[in-house]
Amino acid sequence: MAGPNVLLIRTAGTNCDEEAAFAFTKAGAAVHPVHVRTLAAKPATLAEHAILILPGGFSYGDDLGSGVVMANELVQRLQEPLARFVERGGLAIGICNGFQVLVKTGLLPGTSYRKDGELAATLTFNDSQRFEDRWVTLKVGKSSSPFLKGAEGKLVEFPVAHGEGKFVARSESVLSRIVKENQVAFTYVTRDGGKASYPANPNGAQADIAGFTDETGRVLGLMPHPERHVLPWQHPRWTRDGLKDDGDGMFLFRNAVAHAQQA
């Protein structure tokens, strides 16, 4: 049986599209890369796909801030088609720059968080004031997201590579709601699962939040890169720790494909 269709949106500066496509292909999906302007010219393409991914990179050079230009492009040209895609049950994931884009469009943490056009959260400069490129340990949250099925409490290790990854909520009430409604997908922790401080939390994110979903759980964003750890030997300690069947990030892509096949 043919796997579900995945639409991979890319633009100038995207540089993690091949890794993302490989991960979804390995999970059994059919991946179709498309330039954002091509999609804007034919938004009906979204209806032909079950899963949407915004991969990492530096879209438009991040010249006005990470993800800002691409987020504005999506809002101006594709806001309604994207909303319909989510409403009909589509899955969407944004990784690193893709996460920044989703947050700055307002798709994360969700449309119900909007207040007088003001975004509910942002991803801003790391507390270290430097680009952070390292492996981190994450704990999977209680979210009911299809991406995270069966993984609550699991510890996973992914690499990060970003200069603007610090999650900051608009207000304490927004942060409290994201936590209370189990939208937190991943938190930074130490390797043994303890409370993180720098460098285990590489950017100073509030509540150590590394990724979260929208209200439906079908839209997920995270700063670390699961697509860079889908093969066990991609981890720098694989010769010491031994090979697993899959890299830690593979469960996200398998879960998404399985959910789309059952929908």
Question: Can you give the residue ranges of every domain in the chain?
Answer: 5-262
Q: What is the DSSP string of 198-254?
A: TTTSSS--GGGEEEEE-TTS-EEEESS-GGGSSSGGGSTTHHHH---SS-TTHHHHH
Residue with tokens 């999977």: 140
In sequence order, the β-bridge partners of residue 138 are 156, 188
* Integer Cα distance of 106 and 111 in angstroms: 6
* Integer Cα distance of 147 and 226 in angstroms: 12
Residue with tokens 């990492």: 56
- Burial-class residue 169 by CB neighbours within 10 Å (0-12, 13-18, 19+): buried
**List 132, 227, 235, 259, catalytic entry:** 227
State the pLDDT at residue 1. Answer: 53
Q: Going by C-beta distance under 8 Å and a sequence separation of 6 or more, which residues neighbour residue 61?
A: 12, 13
Q: Going by C-beta distance under 8 Å and a sequence separation of 6 or more, which residues neighbour residue 243?
A: 232, 233
**List 49, 225, 229, 259, catalytic entry:** 225
Residue ranges of E strands in the chain: 5-10, 30-35, 51-54, 91-95, 121-124, 132-140, 155-162, 166-169, 184-189, 209-213, 219-222
State the pLDDT at residue 113. Answer: 93
**List 19, 96, 132, 162, catalytic entry:** 96
Q: Which CATH class is domain 5-262?
A: alpha beta
Q: What share of the chain is helix, strand, coil (3-state, %, to 5)?
A: 35, 25, 40
Nearest to 182 by CA among 139, 145, 156: 145
State the pLDDT at residue 263. Answer: 79
State the pLDDT at residue 118. Answer: 87
Q: Going by C-beta distance under 8 Å and a sequence separation of 6 or more, which residues neighbour residue 94?
A: 53, 54, 100, 101, 102, 108, 219, 220, 221, 222
Active site residue 96: yes
State the pLDDT at residue 164. Answer: 97
Helix pair angle (250-262, 17-26), 10° resolution:
60
Nearest to 24 by CA among 257, 261, 222: 257
State the pLDDT at residue 56. Answer: 97
Can you give the pLDDT of all 263 residues of the chain as single tens digits? 578 999 999 999 999 999 999 999 999 999 999 999 999 999 999 999 999 999 999 999 999 999 999 999 999 999 999 999 999 999 999 999 999 999 999 999 998 998 777 899 999 999 999 999 999 999 999 999 999 999 999 999 999 999 999 999 999 999 999 999 999 999 999 999 999 999 999 999 999 999 999 999 999 999 999 999 999 999 999 999 888 999 999 999 999 999 999 97
What Å distances lie between residue 133 and 37, 93, 128, CA to CA?
30, 21, 12
